[in-house]
Amino acid sequence: MLQIAVPNKGALSDDAVALIREAGYRCRRSDRELRVTDRENAVEFTFLRPRDIAVYVGAGVLDLGITGRDLARDSGAEVVELLALGFGRAAFRYAVPNDSALTPEQFGGLRVATSYPTLVAADLAARGVAATVVRLDGAVEISVQLGVADVIADVVESGETLRQAGLRIVGEPLLQSEAVLLSRLPLAEMPPEAQTFVRRLEGIIVARDYVMVEYDTPQDLLEAACKVTPGLESPTVAPLSQTGWVAVKAMTRRSEVNRIMDRLHALGARGIIVTDIRTCRL
């Protein structure tokens, strides 16, 4: 039976469970169940602390796991990132007091508080900076006010928590993080049921980013219309009963669809319809 780790709480857990269920697996747990078995698909889901998931996967105890890229990198576990899942996005960054002019290259001799000591130590070493890394399990942003640290390194989403603590971001992100699917082995070396799981999730993720655009256009405008909607490989074109007109169907990015509809209508296309895609295989 395929063994898959899922975050046990928080937004990362909610989004992971929603994605897995949308892919056709039974993954809803009652109360605080640590394991949920989907017998139909021969998969067992184990709910763990997000910080621990990469360790279990890297040790070969579990086949696959979903957690944050930042947590996986900080764990030091030997894992392979199979798929970026498109949620839980955040940047891992340094922050200093508002009245400080420090940059990361000037952190030498200072104390850097973080919940990600491995990531920070590696970044400081790469910069040639000798600083003391202070490991904290949470509430890192208050450490400067309490005198535990001089600067911090933490995951930043909106930055509001930093502003409330009198801190500002400095330097480029150490890491752009999001939820990822991990394995100990490359996808090609995994058993068929694991490859099926990955393909199902990938189909949902792609479908969330794309829509299907369908429209009718005069034959003499087809070439120009297809430049607006090239599709992933090429659009589907079919003749209509009305002479000189064709029907076109193509996948386009959801974020661009309104601009595409405007261009198609201005070009002369009519009957433009946009539909959601539930899942797909590319």
**Cα gap 131→95, rounded to integer Å:** 15
Q: Give the amino acid at 199.
A: R
Q: What is the CATH number of domain 90-176?
A: 3.40.190.10
210-276 folds as Alpha-Beta Plaits (3.30.70)
Kindly indicate the confidence band of residue 39, based on its pLDDT and cuts at 50, 70 and 90: very high
The predicted model gives 8-25 an average pLDDT of: 94
Q: Report pLDDT digits (tens) over 203-237.
A: 999 999 999 999 999 999 999 999 999 998 899 99
Average pLDDT, the chain: 94
Q: In three state form, how does the secondary structure of 36-47 look?
A: EEECCCCEEEEE
**Cα gap 113→151, rounded to integer Å:** 6
Q: Which superfamily does CATH assign the domain made up of 2-87+178-190 to?
A: Periplasmic binding protein-like II (3.40.190.10)
pLDDT score for 233: 87
pLDDT score for 139: 87
Which is more confident, 169 or 161?
Answer: 169
223 contact partners, CB below 8 Å, separation of at least 6 = none
* pLDDT for residue 176 is more than 80: yes
Residues of the chain with CATH 3.40.190.10: 2-87+178-190, 90-176
The predicted model gives 110-123 an average pLDDT of: 96
Strand runs labelled E in the chain: 2-7, 35-38, 43-48, 64-68, 80-84, 90-97, 111-114, 132-135, 151-156, 167-177, 179-183, 210-218, 236-239, 245-253, 270-276
The predicted model gives 252-274 an average pLDDT of: 96
**Cα gap 32→62, rounded to integer Å:** 20
pLDDT score for 54: 97
Residues of the chain with CATH 3.30.70.120: 210-276
Across 237-263, b (16+ Cβ under 10 Å) vs e yields: eeeeeeeebbebbbbbeeeebeebbeb
